[in-house]
Amino acid sequence: AQSVTQPDIHITVSEGASLELRCNYSYGATPYLFWYVQSPGQGLQLLLKYFSGDTLVQGIKGFEAEFKRSQSSFNLRKPSVHWSDAAEYFCAVGAQATGANNLFFGTGTRLTVIP
């Protein structure tokens, strides 16, 4: 069965510093992987997704994520964090097209950005 672990419940970084949010997944085959962000009062917004090909995926808002099969990881990175990046970040895994049409999410990581 698919599952996602986000080991960090809460991370605080200074504005301008680099960021890495961890995500580990469990899935028997090649997964579809996603990062979503939820800003206060907003819905879950897709930042980026990995399906195949280049293991380094570029997303919106300057984020990127790298799929590492050997480590079962899909960590999210940003070289320089902005105050507006403060939000909740969710990693998710989806099954390949075998009939399952839902996503498995992690518990989320809350990002606080300090000036």
Binding track over 8-27 against other proteins, x by CB under 8 A: --------------------
Surface-to-core class of residue 72, CB atoms within 10 Å of its CB (0-12 exposed, 13-18 middle, 19+ buried): middle
- Minimum distance of other proteins from residue 106's CB (angstroms): 6
Q: Is 76 in the site for other proteins (CB under 8 A)?
A: no
C-alpha closest to that of 66 among 8, 21, 16: 21
Letter string b/e over residues 103-115, b meaning 16 or more CB atoms within 10 A of that residue's CB: bbbbebbebebee
- Interface pick for other proteins out of 106, 109, 111, 113 (rule CB under 8 A): 106
Binding track over 45-64 against other proteins, x by CB under 8 A: xx--x-xx------------
